[in-house]
Amino acid sequence: MIEIAGLSKIFGVGASAFTALENINVTIRENEFFTLLGPSGCGKTTLLRSIAGFVNPSSGSLTVNGEDMLSKPPYARPVNTVFQNYALFPHMTVAENIGFGLEMLGRPKSEIKSVVADMLDLVQMAPMADRMTSQISGGQQQRVALARALAPKPKVLLLDEPLSALDFKLRKEMQIELKRLQSETGITFVFVTHDQEEALTMSDRIAVMKSGRILQIGGPKDIYDHPAERFVADFIGDTNFVSADLVTEANGIAQVRLPSGKTVEARSPAGGAQSGSVTIAVRPEHAVLSEPGALIDGRLKNIVYFGTDTHYHIESDGQPTFVVRRQNQPDAVEHHQVGDTVGISFNSGTAQVLRD
């Protein structure tokens, strides 16, 4: 278990000072696949490097299983890292790379040999054991980097955008592979990525970061269905933003009045307490087209066919374009035409009030 409290990091001093991390509070559970998600420069890598020991936080505390980490150098922390560029030792073979951590820990040769063999099997690299790291492909280097970091059986494995250098197909394979490794080893994974899809498919929980702060922590479904802030809703998946007026708000349920005058039930974010005018988020697949006189009325501007589904772009007064996504059925007939006046409906509770 990693407990991080009040962690801040300021680079530089005076006018050029830059706050990379601002009051980070998060508890990462045992055996969890935890993802730090955010755009580049949001502080996710700085947070990861703070856990590894390569960045000295300016303030705050960081413990692993109750043990203080900040007073320890990187080589005394029960934490291993898979680096973005893999950082494999070019003057060592695959097997020597994997055994390096155990060797530094002073383990006996026989133990190193058997663990390295296990690790080579785990990442399916046994035939490559005696190759130099320059003689294997990018995907294989990725596996060796994983095996090297897992071999000393760390309490926590840190992964710094490890899949970003791989091509699309290999990335999909490695996503499944990483998930498998995590459940087989039972080690806590802290994964850094800017790829929202990667985060959603792999994580137990996700922390969405922006400008050195954590905006929201939750499971993939939680984050996707109930983004607390506009940034989160926008960064993860596609979203329609609709301005509305807050009527009542109690127990996480809000009643909001749409510009059409109709009132609909929406989830309010943790902390609640919104003022009169708010923005609500509606996922394109949660909305359906209906007859005019629905929650929102507008003019159908565009129909975009995607194969698996069709997107309807609807324009209405004073609102950004609203997108409705409909899954295509083999025998479906297109009833709508560009220029039609249509209505948009969505179920109570699918809309989310955003904190600004």
Partner 1 sequence: MTTDAQTERNRWLLLTPALTILTLAAAGPLLIVVVYSFLTAGDYGGVVWTFSTDAWFSVIAERDFFDETLSFSDAHLSIFWRSVKLSLMTTVVAFLVGFPTAYFIATRPPHKRDFWMLLIMVPFWTNLLIRTFAVMEIIRNEGVVNTVLMKLGLIDSPIQMMFTEFAVTLGMFYVFLPLMVLPIYASMERMDFSLVEAAYDLYASRWKVLRRVILPLVKPGAVAGSILVFVPSLGAYVTPRIMGGGKQLMLGNLIELQFGQGRNWPLGAALSITLLAIVMVALIIYVRSAENGETHHG
Q: Which of 78, 118, 123 is nearest to 99 (CA)?
A: 118
Helix (H, G, I), strand (E, B) or coil at 223: helix
Q: Is 70 a binder of partner 1 (CB under 8 A)?
A: no
Phi, psi of 148 (to 5 degrees): -60, -40
Contact stretch for partner 1 (CB under 8 A) within 56-64, 116-124, 146-154, 241-249:
146-154
Residue 345: strand, helix, or coil: strand
The yes or no reply on residue 80 touching partner 1 (CB under 8 A) is yes
Binder of partner 1 out of 22, 63, 70, 83 (CB under 8 A): 83
Q: 143, 148, 210, 226: which one contacts partner 1 (CB under 8 A)?
A: 148
**Options 85-93, 223-231, 246-254, 286-294: segment touching partner 1 (CB under 8 A):** 85-93
Q: What is the DSSP letter of 93?
A: B
Sorted by sequence, the CB contacts under 8 Å of residue 70 that are 6+ apart come out as: 56, 57, 61, 62
Size of the site for partner 1 (CB under 8 A): 28
| 54 part of the interface to partner 1, by CB under 8 A | yes
CA-wise closest residue to 229 among 219, 217, 215, 243: 215
Output the smallest distance, CB 172 to partner 1, in A.
Answer: 26
Under rule CB under 8 A, residue 12 binds partner 1: no
Token reading at 299: 């003019």
The structure tokens listed for 105 are 């820990």
Interface residue with partner 1 among 38, 43, 101, 220 (CB under 8 A) is 101
Q: DSSP E strands: which ranges in 117-239?
A: 156-160, 188-193, 205-210, 213-218
CB of 150 vs partner 1, minimal distance in Å: 11
Tokens of 339: 């220029």
Q: Helix (H, G, I), strand (E, B), or coil: what is residue 74?
A: helix
* The binder of partner 1 chosen from 44, 46, 94, 96 (CB under 8 A): 96
Q: Does 298 bind partner 1 (CB under 8 A)?
A: no
Exposure pattern of 66-90 as b/e (b: 16+ CB <10 Å)?
Answer: eeebeeeeeeebebbbbbbebebee
- List Cα–Cα distances, 16 to 10, 13, 19, 205, in angstroms: 10, 6, 10, 34
Residue 90 in the binding site for partner 1 (CB under 8 A):
yes
Min dist. Cβ of residue 225 to partner 1 (A):
37
Q: Please identify which residue in 59, 85, 201, 248 interacts with partner 1, judged by CB under 8 A.
A: 85
Nearer to partner 1, 96 or 297 (CB): 96
Strand 33-37: give its sheet, edge to edge: 79-82, 156-160, 188-193, 33-37, 205-210, 213-218
The neighbouring-strand residues paired with 246 are 256
Here's the x/- map for partner 1, 219-258, by CB under 8 A: it reads as ----------------------------------------
**74 interacts with partner 1 by CB under 8 A:** yes
Nearer to partner 1, 153 or 179 (CB): 153
Among residues 75, 186, 317, 335, which is the contact residue for partner 1, using CB under 8 A? 75
Of 52-60, 118-126, 165-173, 335-343, the segment contacting partner 1 by CB under 8 A is: 52-60
Q: Which residues of 251-268 are buried (b: 16+ CB within 10 A; e: fewer)?
A: eeebbbebbbeebbebbb
Distance of closest approach, residue 314 Cβ to partner 1, in angstroms:
49
Q: By CB under 8 A, tell whether 104 contacts partner 1.
A: yes
Q: Is 189 an interacting residue with respect to partner 1 (CB under 8 A)?
A: no
> Is 320 a residue that touches partner 1 (CB under 8 A)?
no
Residues at the contact surface with partner 1, assessed by CB under 8 A: 52-54, 73-76, 79-81, 83, 85, 87-93, 96, 100-101, 104-105, 132, 148-149, 152
